[in-house]
């Protein structure tokens, strides 16, 4: 989906070092992946499930991997679709809420106001004009 892995490079434009892999297993499988030690990673099964370091994860559960790992061994259930995303960790404190990332909650409030006002900074998804998500209430 994004970045490079082995001999494969996705055509997506990137503005920071990161990786996004879409992994599918029709049958149960063992999978070994090489990782970059300076990246942090997240893994989530969209369907099926997987085991990592002896811990089972079902669909919609996130497994977080801190920087430092160079290899990953997974056991995938039959019918699993797994997303692996990773990149260099942020060097400063950030606030993440819904689809927004900012330096603090005040910044998030501003982004939400721009979203609600259909600000052009968020662009449009072709064919999605009538399916725009409403941002949930702020905490």
Residue-wise DSSP of 48-108: SEEEETTEEEETTPEEEE-TT--EEEEEEPTTEEEEEEEEPPPSS--EEETTEEESSHHHH
Per-residue pLDDT of 69-128, as tens digits, reads 999 999 999 999 999 999 999 889 999 999 899 999 999 999 999 999 989 888 877 776
Q: What's the pTM value of the predicted model, to 2 decimals?
A: 0.74
Q: Which residue has the higher pLDDT, 132 or 70?
A: 70
Look over the chain and give the mean of its residue pLDDT values, rounded to a whole number. Answer: 91
* Domains defined for the chain, CATH in brackets: 4-87 (2.60.120.10), 90-124+131-139 (no CATH)
Per-residue pLDDT at 129? 64
């Amino acid at each position: 989906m994004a970045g490079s892995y082995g001999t494969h490079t996705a055509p997506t434009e990137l503005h920071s070092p990161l990786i996004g892999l879409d992994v599918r297993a029709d049958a149960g499988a063992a999978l070994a992946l090489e990782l970059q030690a300076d990246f942090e990673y997240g893994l989530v099964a969209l369907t099926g499930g997987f085991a990592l370091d002896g811990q089972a994860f079902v669909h919609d559960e996130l497994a977080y991997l801190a920087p430092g790992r160079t290899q990953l061994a997974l056991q995938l259930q039959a019918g699993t679709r797994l997303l692996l995303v990773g990149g260099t960790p942020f060097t400063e404190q950030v606030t993440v809420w819904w689809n927004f990332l900012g330096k603090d909650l005040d910044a998030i409030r501003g982004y939400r106001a721009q979203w609600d006002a259909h600000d052009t900074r968020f662009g449009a998804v072709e064919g999605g004009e009538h399916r725009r998500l409403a941002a949930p209430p702020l905490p």
